[in-house]
Amino acid sequence: MKIVEIENEIVEEFKLFGDDWEGKYEHLIDFGKSLPLIDTRYKTDDRLIEGCQSRVWLHSELYDEKVVFTADSDAIITKGIVAILIRVFSGQTPEEIMQADTKFIDDIGLKEHLSPTRANGLVSMIKQMKMYAIALNSLQNS
């Protein structure tokens, strides 16, 4: 599936909850529980994402020309957020990731997490994923 299609799918899932924040957050927490966990040997300081109140490790690998992300966090809501991003971006080509916008976060109704001052570092996560994509892209083309 294309990035936009997955994004729309996630937006639809969250839409079901309407204004019910509890449902939304429970869904987010469930996302966190399904996060493809990072191999413990990659859980190193150089894979930590800056700007998060909780620790978030993110790892990327190129597999069959697609980027595969794994991650972990010590906070479950943060895990949920990174899991959403992984569902969107993992399995896509570096180029697609580089070009993707992430406006769908607004539509999910989690935009409070988008503010740059917000301590969970959603913005930093996206930035880091794109950085990985850029790096993997140049690796591919070299």
Active site residues: 52
Mark the segment that binds other proteins (CB under 8 A) among 39-47, 50-58, 88-96, 128-136: 50-58
Residue closer to other proteins, measured from CB, 67 or 110? 110
Q: Is 39 helix (H, G, I), strand (E, B) or coil?
A: coil
Which residues, 6 or more positions from 135, have their beta carbon under 8 angstroms from its beta carbon?
A: none
Minimal distance in Å, beta carbon 97 to other proteins? 26
Residue 69 · residue 56 · CB < 8 Å: no
Q: What sign does the CA torsion over 81, 45, 132, 36 have?
A: negative
3-state secondary structure 89-140: HCCECHHHHHHCCCCHHHHHCCHHHCCCCCCCCHHHHHHHHHHHHHHHHHHH
The pattern of x and - marking residues 97 through 136 that bind other proteins according to CB under 8 A reads ---------------x------xx----------------
Which member of 60, 70, 78, 93 binds other proteins (CB under 8 A)? Answer: 78
Site size for other proteins (CB under 8 A): 16
Interface residues with other proteins (CB under 8 A) are: 21-22, 25-26, 29, 53-55, 74-78, 112, 119-120
